[in-house]
Structure 1
Amino acid sequence: MDYFILFMAVVIGSGIAYFFQDNSRFSKKLLMFSAGLLLAITILDMFPSLYANGGGNAGIWVIMGVGLQLFLEGISKGIEHGHVHYHKHHENAAIPLSVMLGLFIHSFLEGMPIEAAHHLNHNHEHHANSNILWALSIHKISETIVLTTFLLSLKLKNTYTVLILLLFAISAPLGAYLGSFLNSDLYFIAMGIVAGIFLHISSVIIFENNEKHNLNWQKLLFVFSGMLLGFIISTI
């Protein structure tokens, strides 16, 4: 079921981008909402479990996750947080393999903690990972909208576009499947790294493009709505 939800998030996101190509307003709002949700789930669910059970090195894995995401977004050009800084947008443009590679690794890592708790029999972690699944799925919809819009702008053959989206759709489920084989120690390492990734991405989305520190009430509304949902589902 977890694999299906992750896969369908990509299907939904690509469908929105394909049928509603003027989607920039919607995708930005969804991105803000998902950032608030990711941040809340990271702080309210992942951090308590990680620091209670992950040992004295828990914080190190979080820092490593932040650093790893900084590296990956240098490769992926920022698709994870809603921006693609890539300018080769013309007919028959080459597929930017580095962008795809960075995004696939990012997505693969995000999926790793989701299935592990089923096999470790940690009830609290299982509850936390269910929340991570839903937060990640909403984020993945917005992520896929950006990716699909980017691929459509390259005017690739439809076969290539579908193949790239299919590979992206299975990357998180593949990470979740391999994560199911993690032992307890490796599970908390993976969770710490993913928590660092989520912390970095949500922070960048919330604070990006606000150099003048203007008060944007609409942005605040969507971010706090995501945080509120995260608080609600983490306390259920």
Structure 2
Amino acid sequence: MIYFLPLLAVIIGFVISLYIKPSSSTGFQLLLSFSGAFLLSVTVFELLPEVYSGGNERVGLFIMAGLLIQIFLEFLSKGVEHGHMHHGKSGKFPLLLLLSLSLHSLLEGFPLTQNEDLLHGVVIHKIPVAAILSTFLLHSKIGKAKIILFLTLFAIMTPFGSWLHNNFEFLEEYAIFINAVVIGIFLHVSTTILFEASKNHTFNASKLGVVIGGIILAYLL
């Protein structure tokens, strides 16, 4: 499942992009808010206690490093990870965007081998991101072959991160620090989603409901 579900999420996101406009769909924005709340909750409920349980004083530094890394990656990706979409028709292959999203996806795949709830959170988060990304690519006029190449590389990076963790034992020595970096990334992405998913940065009843639902579901799981 850790290899299949992230791939399926990208496929679902691509299909969604063909039938709705993510930037203007209320239902899509609610899904984005739900994914942000769920991902944040799983991070707080599961990952944070795990990395701090060992008593390593450097964990906090790596969490902040992860947050700074995500800020830099979003400078390259223009915020696709948390719902931003900028249409363009340059026809140029967006290499920097691919590199940014690939590194993000690779890192998020690392802790999935140890936490099934986090896997669900990543998958739920990946669906709207893939839909936004697919919409951007379809409007960029780079050609079907390049779109397929981009989405394929993007889709396999999360499973690849999980595969690396499963097959290279020496990485286990650094697992707590890599997980701490991922926590920083998730904290930035999820909180940005929650604060930016509504127009004028205001909460409405529907958004509040899905956010509470995401928190409760993450807790129950």
Q: Secondary structure at the match of 2:84?
A: coil
Which of 172, 184, 190 aligns to 2:158? It is: 172
What residue is the counterpart of 1:2 in the other structure? 2
By how many angstroms is 1:209 displaced?
A: 6.1
What value does the CA root-mean-square deviation take over the aligned residues? 1.8
Shift of 1:142: 1.0
Q: Using the TM superposition, give the Cα deviation of residue 74 of structure 1 relative to its aligned residue in structure 2, in angstroms.
A: 0.5
Deviations 1:90-115 (A, max 9, x none): 2x621221112111111111111122
8 Å contact kept, 1:10–1:140: yes
1:101 aligns with 2:99: yes
TM-score (normalised: structure 1): 0.86
Where does residue 59 of structure 2 map in the other structure? Answer: 58
Q: How many residues align?
A: 217
Specify the alignment match of 2:214 in structure 1: 226
CA contact (8 A) 1:54 1:185 kept: no
The CA distance in 1 between the partners of 2:140 and 2:175, in whole Å, is 38
Instruction: Please report how far the alpha carbon of residue 11 of structure 1 lies from its aligned counterpart in structure 2 after TM superposition.
Output: 1.1
Q: Partners in 1 of 2:142 and 2:30 — Cα distance?
A: 27
How far apart are 1:170 and its partner, in Å?
A: 0.3
Unaligned segments of structure 1, at least 5 residues: 116-125
Match of residue 110 from structure 2 = 112
2:157 match: secondary structure: helix
Q: Where do residues 1-236 of structure 1 align in structure 2 (5 Å cutoff)?
A: 1-18=1-18, 20-23=19-22, 24-53=25-54, 55-84=56-85, 86=86, 89-90=88-89, 93-115=91-113, 126=114, 129-180=115-166, 181=168, 182-208=170-196, 214-233=202-221
Q: Tell me, what secondary structure is at the counterpart of 2:32?
A: helix
Distance between the aligned counterparts of 2:208 and 2:132, measured in 1?
A: 21
Instruction: State the shift of 1:215 in Å.
Output: 3.7
Alignment gaps of 5+ in structure 2: none
Distance 2:203 2:6 in 1: 34
Opposite residue 117 of structure 2, the aligned amino acid is N
Return the offset for 1:211.
8.8
Distance apart, 1:22 and its partner CA: 2.9
Q: What one-letter code is carried by the residue in structure 1 that aligns with 2:14?
A: S
Q: For residue 184 of structure 1, report the CA deviation from its aligned partner.
A: 3.7
Structure 1 stretches of 4+ with a deviation exceeding 4 A read 209-213
Looking at structure 2, the residues matched to 162 and 185 of structure 1 have their Cα atoms a distance apart, in angstroms, of 36
Shift in Å, 1:156: 2.5
Which moved further from structure 2: 150-159 or 65-74? Answer: 150-159
The one-letter amino acid paired with 1:95 is F
CA shift, 1:197, in A, is 0.6
Contact 1:27 1:145 in 2 (8 A): no
The alpha-carbon deviation at position 155 of structure 1 amounts to 2.4
Distance in 1 between the 2:149 and 2:72 partners?
25
